[in-house]
Amino acid sequence: MKYTKLGGSGLTVSRLCLGTMNFGPFTPEAESFEVMDAAHEWGINFFDTANVYGRGGGLGDATGGTDHVGGTEEIIGRWFAQGNGRRERTVLATKVYNDMGDWPNEGRLSALHIRRSLDASLKRLQTDYIDLYQFHHVDRGTPWEEIWQAIDVAITAGKILYVGSSNFGGWHLAQAQEAAHTAGLIGLRSEQSIYNLANRDIELEVIPASQHYGIGIIPYSPLRGGLLGGVLSREEGGVRRASGRALPRLARLRPQLEAYEKLCAEAAIEPATVALAWLLHQPAVTAPIVGPRTREQLQSSLPALDTELSDDMLAKLNAIFPGFKTAPEHYAW
């Protein structure tokens, strides 16, 4: 395994991050345990989850899965409870923002919800601290002064070590950081955004802002819902069944995907490996999130760590999936 620092912090994390969103809804608890054990076996120490994960897949409690919010955190907590250094060897990231119920103050980033949500996550995860506590979305209705005061209280209490964001725009990052610095706080150390060869929007402003403030990028959906994993060379079932949106995207991207898979075949590298390796070649990226359902799927992501893409290969990938210049040069002088 290869490691790097999380943004400008001193925290060391693996270059691949284990995403756990499938644990419970799609992957039963016993198999989820196997995947997490395998992650440690292969040196992956960075795990990402969220308080809202655990519903929607349909496995249900009777089959060893979950179909309720908080279910994924509960599975991770029971895995930690087995001991043998599982918690100590894990850099644990979870998130706050989404509605956890239908009563007022059960969502967003008010000081009240942050306090309640953090304590609930700690209980479900069976731990007394979160390494990286992430805002799952920007809250336009709560002032940053209130948010950072609530976070400062949690840090002082030892419940949070680092703070990150997810799905923020570049100016949201600037707002957050300037408010944090005014309050004498370090602020954000990571931003989790959708980022892959077929979706490079964050190159306009999010990545430049992140680099300016020392914020590490944690890309999610590195294979664009399976589309960058060699979907054209497999049966239609290769498109991730959990998202019907993949089918319209497939039709729209088909010419590019044909060129992409041809290029990967000529280089004798699996398309999924190329997509992950490309992200690992981007200077702002800390660790792409891989969200396997099985141990075998997790193992298939490991070759990307040792895959060096030549300048010629990178240029050809950029030609197939053009990116963005830093704003405003992309659209102005």
Q: Which residues contact 92 (CB under 8 A, 6 or more apart)?
A: 47, 49, 76, 125, 127, 130, 131, 132
Q: How far apart, in Å, are the Cα atoms of 274 and each of 185, 222, 261, 308, 328?
A: 38, 10, 10, 9, 29
* Greatest extent of the chain over all pairs of C-alpha atoms, in Å: 60
Q: Could you give the 3-state DSSP secondary structure of residue 113? A: helix
Which residue shows structure tokens 């306009």? 204
> In the numeric block, which tokens belong to residue 272?
């999924």
* Amino acid occupying residue 273: T
Helix or strand or coil: residue 37? helix
Out of 3, 53, 97, 162, the active site residue is 53
Q: Please work out, in degrees rounded to the nearest 5, the angle formed at the alpha carbon of residue 253 by the alpha carbons of 250 and 256.
A: 130
SS3 assignment, position 147:
helix
At residue 51's C-alpha, the angle toward residues 114 and 216, to 5°, is: 80
Closest CA to 231 of 206, 205, 253: 253
Measure the CA–CA gap between 119 and 55, rounded to whole angstroms.
20
Look up 53 and say whether it is catalytic: yes
Helix/strand/coil for 235: coil
Q: What is the DSSP string of 266-293?
A: HHT--HHHHHHHHHHTSTTBS--EE--S
Return the active site residues. 53
